């Protein structure tokens, strides 16, 4: 007697715990509790897996998914006019998810390995020149739009340390060391590293902390908040708050050169490497797990290239 098609499935395929929805939830818990990924990374994973479930169905058995099914999900993103970067992020998430399923024997064959990234246009990291970063860091003093001492300290510390915006807002007063010249921060993957603040940043931070203490002297919050940077009400500043502050100073009221907080990090890396810092040292200061990520910054500014040309070429000085 011929068996029904459903009866021919293996025990692994019949297991309800191997349904796509259940495994996605398990995967996210693993990434948070074991790998210690940041909240932003978890949100990105969750959104990508949500799209996967929307196309394939929550009850789809992971062992039934084929490469063609994943390509269908990618085609759906393309129809939605998603950027190539967003599509590649989705592909990366799916690869990581299927690698997890293979590692724990939920599948016997990783079909995600057949999926290739879409071609990306080459974009160099946006960074500011020396005069541009100096002008931006001085903008809170020249043009007091929000909170002069705080905003000056944020800009100087981000440029001095190369910290991510999330790392700056998470920085606590107790993390500061050596007369505020350095700090231990927790970066991606909950990895600790030391970052450094040069004299301008130290001076700006000292002024801000004194101003903050005076401002909240008679209030129950503010001076009691453990984070270094707070908002006007004395609560810990958020990443959105820093983006808003920067948008004001780099917008029509300020330099009229809109940038993101990450531009400070790009500028820090570019400045360090252009000045001759070892790429592995910069990798350590930025908290990159792969040196290839740091090497993106080995481009040199036009001014630096001209300077090198003029000093090296026999007719350059003319």
Residue 22, SS3 per DSSP: helix
Residues comprising the chain, all counted: 318
Cα separation, 111 vs 185, in Å, equals: 38
Cα separation, 254 vs 172, in Å, equals: 29
**Is 297 an annotated catalytic residue?**
yes
DSSP 70-113: HHHHHHHHHHTT--HHHHHHHHHHHHHHHHHHHHTTS-SS-GGG
CA 74 to chain CA mean position, Å: 23
**Contact yes or no for 159/195 (Cβ under 8 A):** no
**Is 258 an annotated catalytic residue?**
no
- Catalytic residue, candidates 248, 262, 296, 299: 262
- Catalytic residue, candidates 164, 208, 212, 266: 164
**Is 235 an annotated catalytic residue?**
no
CA distances from 149 to 142, 222, 234, 244 (A): 11, 15, 14, 16
Cα separation, 211 vs 207, in Å, equals: 6
CB atoms within 10 A of CB 56: 19
**Is 9 an annotated catalytic residue?**
no
**CA-wise closest residue to 150 among 224, 216, 218, 228:** 228
Element containing residue 196 per DSSP (H, E): strand 192-196
Buried b (16+ CB within 10 A) or exposed e, 241-261: bbeebbebbbeeebbeeebeb
CB atoms within 10 A of CB 166: 19
- Catalytic residue, candidates 150, 212, 265, 266: 265
**Is 30 an annotated catalytic residue?**
no
- Catalytic residue, candidates 95, 188, 193, 243: 188
**Is 214 an annotated catalytic residue?**
no
CA 103 to chain CA mean position, Å: 27
Catalytic residues: 164, 188, 262, 265, 288, 297
């Amino acid at each position: 007697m011929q068996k029904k098609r459903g009866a021919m499935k293996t025990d692994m395929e019949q297991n309800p715990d191997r349904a796509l929805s259940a495994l996605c939830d398990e995967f996210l818990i693993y990434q948070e509790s074991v790998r210690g990924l940041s909240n932003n990374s978890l949100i990105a994973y969750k959104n990508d897996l949500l799209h996967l479930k929307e196309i394939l169905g929550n009850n789809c058995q992971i062992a039934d998914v084929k490469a063609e099914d994943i390509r269908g999900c990618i085609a759906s993103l393309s129809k939605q006019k998603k950027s190539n970067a967003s599509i590649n992020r989705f592909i990366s998430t799916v690869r990581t998810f299927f690698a997890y399923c293979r590692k724990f024997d939920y599948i016997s064959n990783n079909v995600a390995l057949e999926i290739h990234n879409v071609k990306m246009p080459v974009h160099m990291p946006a960074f500011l020149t020396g005069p541009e970063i100096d002008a931006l860091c001085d903008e809170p003093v020249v043009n007091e739009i929000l909170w002069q001492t705080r905003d000056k300290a944020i800009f100087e510390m981000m440029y001095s340390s190369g910290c991510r915006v999330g790392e700056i807002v998470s920085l606590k007063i107790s993390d500061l060391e050596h007369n505020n010249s350095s700090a231990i921060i927790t970066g991606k993957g909950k990895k600790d590293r030391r970052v450094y603040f040069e004299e301008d940043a130290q001076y700006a931070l000292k002024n801000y902390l004194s101003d903050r203490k005076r401002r909240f002297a008679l209030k129950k919050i503010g001076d009691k908040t453990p984070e270094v940077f707070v908002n006007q009400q004395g609560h810990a500043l958020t990443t959105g708050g820093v983006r808003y502050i920067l948008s004001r100073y780099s917008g029509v009221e300020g330099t009229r050169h809109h940038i993101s907080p990450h531009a400070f990090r790009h500028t820090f890396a570019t400045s360090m490497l252009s000045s001759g810092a070892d790429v592995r040292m910069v990798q350590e200061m930025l908290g990159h797990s792969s040196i290839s990520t740091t090497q993106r910054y080995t481009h040199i500014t036009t001014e630096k290239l001209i300077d090198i040309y003029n000093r090296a070429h026999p007719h350059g000085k003319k």
